[in-house]
Amino acid sequence: MLNRPKSRLNNLLMTSHKPTRRSSAWLDSPDLYGWLRRAALKSEGFSKQLSENRPIIGICNTWSELTHCNIHLRDLAESVKQGVESAGGLPLEFPVMSLGEYNMVPTAMMYRNLLSMEVEESILANPLDGVVLLAGCDKTTPALLMGATSANIPAILVTGGPQLKSVWRGEELGTCTDCRRYQQELRSGNITNQDWEDLQNVIINSPGHCGVMGTASTMAAIGEALGIALPGNTSIPAAHPERHTLARKSGETIIDMVNHNIYPRKILTENSFINAIRVIHAIGGSTNAIVHLIAIAGRAGINLPLSIFDKLSKTTPLLVNLKPSGKYLMEDFHKVGGLQAVLSQLNPILNSNVENISGKTLDETVSDVAVEKNDVIHNLNNPISMEGGLAVLHGSLAPNGAIIKQTAASPNLLNHQGRAVVFENHEDMENRIDDPRLDVCPKDILVMRNSGPIGGPGMPEWGLIPIPKKLAKSGVKDMVRISDARISGTAFGTVVVHVTPESAIGGPIAAVQNGDLISIDVSERKLDILVSHSEIKRRLKESKYSVQTPNRGYQWLYSRHILQADKGCDFDFLIPDYEN
Ligand code: FES
């Protein structure tokens, strides 16, 4: 049993006249500020709700015109409000920073922790009895879950839902797995620039997040698997009316949670995290989910070592046939039952007595879910593969671990030795990858460094190093690629990422030289540089790896406190110490 920290809430309630409801510590305060807070809410038109002493529910909204995936969250907030009001609460919407995956440089990941801090502080600083978290695009969901877990008042997640499929020349497509595939076709000369532009005009044809099992879909699935989002949240398309029904129901549910004091760290237990890891493997989830889940668990005071992800990968079959690992899209997934169908299949190997926000056990929640035979969600007796989607590699190149999505890789490259072709950083790679003079052949292994949490900075999604043009033109579609970067959850190929420690802090990847032999063996979970330990040590001593250290602002804070990928890339000072 974890000890809980003394929160500001507890301090406030201890001095409050009516300790039963959190908001009363603000609104019933006998001083001038208690009076002013009521006056302020009356000025917004809430006199009646105040006289009825309604619980106050924050709606934490990541809507922004800079984040196309979240563009419909203002509308969705209205449905949440209807639910809150109908259940007797007073909803108050508040904006927080939004993290648009396409727009933010160097990467939205760099700001995940900042958003999580904003969420935590916004919740703790205000008279809220509960909070509904509206997220969607990749990093918004983990950031909101991290912040709400730290704040630890009743919280429910509502994600925006995936985009509808798009159709181009008779083919059903999803962002952005198919964008990447067609980019490769463009580089190979198989489509024209005009084709590429035509595709751009149709590829995103509805609100919502990417319509494949990328990071956004995986994080939504994690929310549902952890029990902090309602059943169905993962896959109901953003443009479907059911999404509003779910939002309304979530607004009603948060009132129940406040009344029964169901808060995040009651739900987010070791057993629910183990369930979430199995779900990541079974759905062929994003490599990014590992980093995010470690960070969310860390906020709950739970340590998830990489070894547990790998252990569970070996005993969790891949059941879901979605891009980028498989062939279908999130809309198809929804039609055959979505995550509830997966959970009902996995139930025999899950901790089925964990409770969700409705106070029901997983077993009770999925017991009535009927799953008809289909090719999108396989059953436990007929899995797509016996092992889960992600594998954790260790070895002399990655002493603290590296990740590969084995189900999105080329089977013939999962056990491979090749010559290293090294790029110093992303810029170097972009400058030389298409140079006809680049000394590279299909069996080589492309290595890129200085792309990690500190080196990037922000660990950008640069891990999908393009196939050198001269090889792409001759028909090469995949090669082994290794980096300390991340990779988009929508990407595919034999790509090893999150090499830890990263090069910027002297990890062995900083010592790799052109022509060194590298060996990858996914079945043995090995990733080695075939150079003696003493030689690696000598090279690291002589190498000039260095990090630019910003001298002010958020980037200053980031560069001093960011943890490595195997620790979830959270800030060291945000990990709680519940023992004290
Ligand atoms: Fe937002 Fe893919 S760009 S989820």
CA of 211 to the centre of ligand 1 (A): 9
The type of residue at 494 is T
What is the H or E stretch that residue 395 is in? strand 390-395
Distance between CA atoms of residues 388 and 65, nearest Å? 36
Q: 324 with 219, same domain?
A: yes
What pLDDT shows up at residue 549? 82
Ligand 1 pocket check for 554: Cβ under 6 Å: no
CA of 547 to the centre of ligand 1 (A): 29
Residues 420, 402: Cα–Cα separation, whole Å? 17
Q: Which of the four pLDDT bands, split at 50, 70 and 90, describes residue 375?
A: very high
Average pLDDT over residues 501-511: 96
- For the CA of 489, the closest atom of ligand 1 is 2
User: What is the rounded CA–CA span in Å between residue 198 and residue 168?
Assistant: 9
Q: Taking 60 as the threshold, does the pLDDT of residue 12 lie above it?
A: no
Q: What are phi and psi of 445, to 5 degrees?
A: -115, 120
How far is C-alpha 241 from the chain's CA centre?
Answer: 25
Is 11 part of a structural domain of the chain? Answer: no
Q: Could you report the per-residue pLDDT of 245-256, keeping only the tens digit for each? A: 999 999 999 999
- Is residue 467, in this structure, part of any structural domain at all? yes
Report the CATH number that the domain containing residue 543 is assigned in CATH.
3.50.30.80
Mean pLDDT within 465-485: 96
Residue with tokens 């007073």: 90
Q: Would you report the helix, strand and coil content of the chain in percent, each value rounded to 5? A: 40, 15, 45
Which amino acid, residue 562? I
Same domain for 176 and 158? no
Q: Is residue 374 part of a domain?
A: no
Tell me how many helices (H) and strands (E) the chain has. Answer: 22, 14
Rounded CA separation 49/180 (Å): 51
Whether residue 146 has pLDDT greater than 80? yes
> Which range marks the domain in which residue 172 is found?
166-200
Q: What angle do CA 205, 211, 215 make, to 5 degrees?
A: 135
Which residues, 6+ apart, have CB-to-CB distance to 454 below 8 Å?
502, 504, 505, 547, 559, 562
pLDDT reported for residue 543 = 82
How many whole angstroms from 140 Cα to the centroid of ligand 1? 10
Shared domain for 212 and 265, answered yes or no, is yes
Q: Which of 437, 429, 439 is nearest to 464 (CA)?
A: 429
The CA R_g of the chain, rounded to the nearest whole Å, is 24
CA distance between the termini of the chain:
14
Indicate if the pLDDT at residue 179 is higher than 60.
Answer: yes
Residues 121, 178 share a domain: no
Closest-lying ligand 1 atom to the alpha carbon of residue 209:
4
Question: What DSSP line would sit under 496-562, residue for residue?
Answer: EE--SS-GGGT-GGGG--TT-EEEEETTTTEEEE-S-HHHHHHHHHH---------SHHHHHHHHHB
Share of the chain above pLDDT 90, in %: 92
Q: Assess if residue 32 is contained within a domain.
A: no
Same domain, 88 and 185: no
Cβ–ligand 1 contact at 69 (below 6 Å): yes
Compute the distance between CA of residue 527 and CA of residue 415 in angstroms, rounded to an integer. 10
Of the ranges 83-87, 188-192, 405-409, the best mean pLDDT one: 83-87
Q: Is 330 in the pocket of ligand 1 (CB under 6 A)?
A: no
User: Which residues lie below 8 Å from residue 8, measured CB to CB, with a gap of 6+?
Assistant: 124
Domain assignment present for residue 48? The answer is no
Q: Let me know whether 191 and 122 are in one domain.
A: no
pLDDT tens-digit map of 216-232: 999 999 999 999 999 99
Q: What is the CATH number of the domain that holds 266?
A: 3.40.50.2300
Cα three-residue angle 104-264-239, rounded to 5 degrees:
50
Cα–Cα distance measured from residue 215 to residue 391, given in angstroms and rounded to the nearest whole number: 16
Whether 216 lines ligand 1, by a CB cut-off of 6 Å, is: yes
State residue 10's pLDDT score: 44
Pocket test for ligand 1, best of 62, 65, 69 (most atoms within 8 A of CB): 69
3-state secondary structure of 34: helix
Whether the per-residue pLDDT at 4 is higher than 50: the answer is: no
- For residues 93 and 68, state if they share a domain: yes
Nearest CA to ligand 1 atom 3: 101
Least confident range from 185-189, 222-226, 232-236: namely 185-189
When pLDDT is cut at 50, 70 and 90, the band that residue 20 belongs to is confident
Residues 434-456 have pLDDT tens digits of 999 999 999 999 999 999 999 99
209 pocket-lining for ligand 1 (C-beta < 6 Å): yes
Domain count, the chain: 3
- Give the span between the Cα atoms of 154 and 390, in whole angstroms: 32
Nearest to 238 by CA among 217, 264, 266: 217
Regarding whether 406 and 278 lie in a shared domain, the answer is no
The confidence score (pLDDT) of residue 577 equals 81
Residue 24 included in any domain: no
- The reply to whether 295 and 318 lie within a common domain is yes
Q: Which pLDDT score is estimated for 7?
A: 45
Report whether 289 contacts 218 (CB < 8 A): yes
Q: What is the pLDDT of residue 579?
A: 57
Tell me: do 414 and 522 sit in the same domain. Answer: yes
DSSP state of 388: -
Per-residue pLDDT tens digits for 281-306: 999 999 999 999 999 999 999 999 99
75-93: average pLDDT: 98
Q: Is the pLDDT of residue 77 over 90?
A: yes
Same-domain pairing of 345 and 295: yes
Mean pLDDT throughout 412-423? 98
Could you tell me the pLDDT band of residue 116, with boundaries at 50, 70 and 90?
very high
What ligand 1 atom has the least distance to the C-alpha of 67? 1
Q: What is the average pLDDT value for the chain, to the nearest integer?
A: 94
**Residues 140 and 170 both lie in one domain:** no
Query: CB of 137 closer than 6 A to ligand 1?
Result: yes
4 in a structural domain: no
Helices (H), 188-300: 193-202, 215-226, 241-259, 264-267, 270-283, 288-299
Owner of token pair 């079974």: 282
Residue 143 belongs to some domain of the structure: yes
